[in-house]
Structure 1
Amino acid sequence: MSSSSPRRLVGVSTKMYFSFAKTTRYVSTLLKLLADQPPETLASLQNIDIFVIPDHISLVSVISQLRHGSNTCPVPILAGAQDAFHEDAGAFTGEVSPAILAEIGCRILELGHAERRRFFGETDDTTARKAAAAVRNGIIPLVCLGERTKPPLASASSDSVSGDDEILDIQAALPEIRAQIEAVLSAVPPATDVVLAYEPVWAIGAAVPASASYVVSIAKAIRDLECVQRRPAGSTRILYGGSAGPGLFAKLKDGVDGLFLGRFAHDPEQFLKTVLEVATA
């Protein structure tokens, strides 16, 4: 999927919120909603990648649904997994093989989420090894990243104050973000597709989320990192992985290539609405 101009990308993870039956209904509803769109809407979706990341138990069924749904829904949807081990096979009880994920048709692998780091002690090195395993098996690594601590306010100046927004120090956040990205990109071949899903960890569940201007500034700083600049144009796409609502992507489109959605998109109608906003913004 590499190109000189990155394709936009939008998707959803169901985490562990859905039952098997609810996941099945969700995908069926989404496929029907897409199939019912007028031709001009479907045309706008040909230049965007859509993905759904269910739980491991539901993944095989979702892949089957998406394959059969392609007969009536002209818009392809990629299926992803929420995690995998860094080895393809062996005595690793309870782990999920990336080779088997590839075998069943998994296309994207979510890695390094803040919850994996917090609950299971995963590190930048863990994420990098899993990203290498994904790429080795022809799966696109979707790497979650973000700084844990809210940066301090930037030094006040006449050209750094914008309305009522807090102006945070971008440079203070970059070292942690850079380390996360460099670990992954050093572990995979330079021409492979990598998706970076940015969300500041300090903003998860916060009363006041990170501002759009802050997210755009961070995304632009990520693109300027030497490890990203060395890669072929279009091979590194950046998503915003935070809470999303109507109209958000229009505020972020100058910095990111799409959105990685959570609970807001657990309503298939809201998910489709957001997909269309990303496609047409």
Structure 2
Amino acid sequence: MTGRTVTVGISTKMYLGYASSKAWLEAVMAVARESEAVSAGTVKLFIAPSFPVLETALGLAGGTPVQIAAQNASEQDSGPLTGEVSPAFLAEMGVSLVELGHAERRELFGEDDAVVAAKSAAAQRNNLQPLLCIGEKSRVAPEEAARLSYAQFASAHVDPDGPTPVVAYEPLWAIGATEPAEPAYVRAVAARLREQLPGNATLLYGGSAGPGLLPLLYPHVDGLFLGRFAHDPGNLALILEEAAVLLAAEERPHARA
């Protein structure tokens, strides 16, 4: 056995309404239950829905290996912070990851490196895995993209003794685009990031990721962080099957040994 796993994550951002979120969650969990690789734990799946349906998601995921993530959290555990969501509250609910530092949070809400670092510390002290989003603003050479991206990770000051970080490499210029960043580019950036990230970090690619991309990137990355393409549960089923096939192919030489 190689011991390798593939991780697939999904964020719905704010695209789905209340009823459509619940229907989507039910469909996604049906896909997850049908996946032998997810049930076996060789393909890890996490879902980050809108805050109002986190409890619904946790209920649907009960008894499965699927992890539920939050799309954001406060840097404070409690206090007079109207409209914020406490990481301690999320942990008590059963949430296990929290997404931090996404380009949209940085650009639209002014969350700089200091804010991301404070939120990362808050997540880890509440035993939540920080899901850190990193990526360059514009297309540059892979060496420069890796340098800029790793600087964002380093500035988050992840505690090496805390919960294992998940790192989503998302080039800003690929987010919401018609196509993801070119596979050769992603592989080159990922190779350089691997040299610097903690050995236990999970490295995902995000940015217009969809079916057909994972076989072009694995094992340079550990999986994908999906957005709008996963709004169709059928696309998720395809990607989970791609992951299972890749892992099975890795096992074959070992089975013959």
TM-score scaled by structure 1? Answer: 0.81
Residue 194 of structure 1 is matched in structure 2 by 165
Matches within 5 A, 1:1-281: 7-36=5-34, 41-42=36-37, 45-67=40-62, 70=63, 75-151=64-140, 169-184=141-156, 186-190=157-161, 192-206=163-177, 209-225=180-196, 228=197, 231=198, 233=199, 235-281=200-246
Separation of aligned partners in 2, 1:173 and 1:14? 26
Q: Deviations over 1:174-211 (max 9, x none)?
A: 33212101112x24234530011001112224456421
1:25 aligned counterpart, secondary structure: helix
Shift of 1:132: 1.2
**Aligned 8 A contact 1:45 1:276 in 2:** no
Change (3 A) 1:25 1:114: same
Q: Deviations over 1:76-110 (max 9, x none)?
A: 21111000011111121111100000000101111
Aligned-residue Cα RMSD (Å) equals: 2.0
Separation of aligned partners in 2, 1:92 and 1:36? 41
Unpaired segments of 5 or more residues in structure 2? 247-257
Shift of 1:135: 1.0
Residue 251 of structure 2 is matched in structure 1 by none
Separation of aligned partners in 2, 1:92 and 1:118? 21
Change (3 A) 1:45 1:212: farther
Which is further off, 117-126 or 28-37?
Answer: 28-37
1:24 aligned counterpart, secondary structure: helix
Q: Would you say how many aligned residue pairs link Structure 1 and Structure 2?
A: 245
Change (3 A) 1:62 1:217: same
1:277 aligned counterpart, secondary structure: helix
Shift of 1:218: 0.7
> Which has the bigger relative contact order, CA under 8 A and spacing at least 6?
1
Identity of aligned residues (%): 40
Shift of 1:122: 0.8
**Aligned 8 A contact 1:129 1:187 in 2:** no
Change (3 A) 1:216 1:126: same
Which is further off, 269-278 or 216-225?
Answer: 269-278
1:214 aligned counterpart, secondary structure: helix
Separation of aligned partners in 2, 1:111 and 1:259? 16
Which is further off, 255-264 or 123-132?
Answer: 123-132
Which is further off, 202-211 or 271-280?
Answer: 202-211
Change (3 A) 1:191 1:211: same
1:109 aligned counterpart, secondary structure: strand
**Aligned 8 A contact 1:88 1:133 in 2:** yes
TM-score scaled by structure 2? Answer: 0.88
| Structure (1/2) with the larger helix percentage | 2
1:76 aligned counterpart, secondary structure: coil
2:208 aligned counterpart, secondary structure: coil
Unpaired segments of 5 or more residues in structure 1? 152-168
Separation of aligned partners in 2, 1:48 and 1:124? 31
